A and B are shown apart, each in its own frame.
Chain A
């Protein structure tokens, strides 16, 4: 490969290698950079960036896949609601096969099983479709599974405002929206070393670059970037240079859509409808003010307040389905998928065990799809 984009990527890789050597890093003690976005994870694997990078640099996947960080108990709540004949579940497709606990075999394990048993589960491509479903089914209760980071929360908030304006009375949100900065802080509070962050481009569109300035209080560094392979390579080079120069900084390599203050309209809509709340993350546990719940003014749209769940479902939150699954540790960068005893054996793309293999943005799914056969499985 020479010239054009491939040549540029190889040249950037060479400069990364030079910077890593200047940092005194090598294969045994590499620079460790964490990407905190599932779409970055997929791009890195699909475009072969890991193979292009020098061995003195290691890319680690963080809690950037919204489906993966959603706990089993949330799926139990969704499955329980799906089992009611009057309920229609509206959901993005990547949540369908994520396992819950199944409540000791008394309930379907995931929404796909629930659908097979007759539940009305509908895949949507935009939250606004939920408004149409509610309008077309006035005698049913339509529950939107509101999962995702700062990227999808404004759209969910806009849905609530649209429902209010339209006078829709049969639309509810089962919320599990999460905020990225608190999760990054939780990871930084843990002992494993991270040298810098490839910051999530789409989250930063909403929050703004400034939101990640907290990294400097940790003496850390981050670069916001988009989803073109060359842009990710450029971010890795910049992070390597910042480590080499002993500089703590947060820079923006995605200025075409990421502003300093973010999308103010999106933030306004989001915080008008939601408020920060403690939230449970797979792999990280409960984190203070790391999630979003509906404000009291919008309680009429809150599935938890309007469609009460049984105590058994409430108590199931956070229960592990399979103790061998190390998805939670993969999400925090503590281990890689190859360290999991299930990965590539009991857990494959055809028979996923944990959510990290279920979602296309999951770290295990990316490792399996693009890295199968190129690494040694755990014993």
Chain B
């Protein structure tokens, strides 16, 4: 039962779009962490558990590196930002999901 972060790419629609009427959407993998297309989500056992705060994720990693004396600016920080940018879907992809 591992968890991982992944991109909410809009596929949740295939699970139905119902609402229990109690403010709790059910029958969907994002039932406990309702997100929007384009959000990073933490996935555990087939469910989106939480929306990932990208800024805080970057800050945490920079802090750990700083604790290790690697510094929080410079090449490491840039490579992390590039890594996240590469994971972000294109504007065209998001438009296609929304349409």
What residues of chain A have their CB less than 8 Å away from a CB belonging to chain B?
A: 3-5, 7-12, 15, 38-39, 66, 92, 94, 124-129, 131, 148, 151-152, 154-155, 158, 161-162, 164-166, 202, 205-206, 226-228, 230-231, 233-234, 237, 253-258, 263, 265-266, 268-269, 272, 361
Contact = CB atoms under 8 A, between A and B. Distances in A.
Interface of B: 1-3, 15, 18, 20, 22, 24, 26-29, 31-34, 42, 44-47, 49-54, 56-57, 59-61, 63-65, 67-70, 76
Contacts of A124: 46
B33 A265 contact: yes
5 contacts: A4-B70, A126-B47, A206-B49, A257-B50, A265-B32
A39 B15 contact: no
A129 B45 CA distance: 11
Contacts of B60: 226, 231, 253-256
Given A128-B29, A165-B18, A256-B52, A268 B24 contact: yes
B34 A165 contact: no
B52 to A, nearest CB: 5
A233 B44 contact: no
Contacts of A165: 18, 20, 26-27
Contacts of B29: 126, 128
Contacts of A126: 29, 45-47
Contact of A127 (B2, B47, B53, B64): B47
Nearest 6 pairs of A and B residues by beta carbon:
A126-B46, A8-B68, A256-B57, A162-B27, A266-B32, A158-B31
Nearest to A124: B46
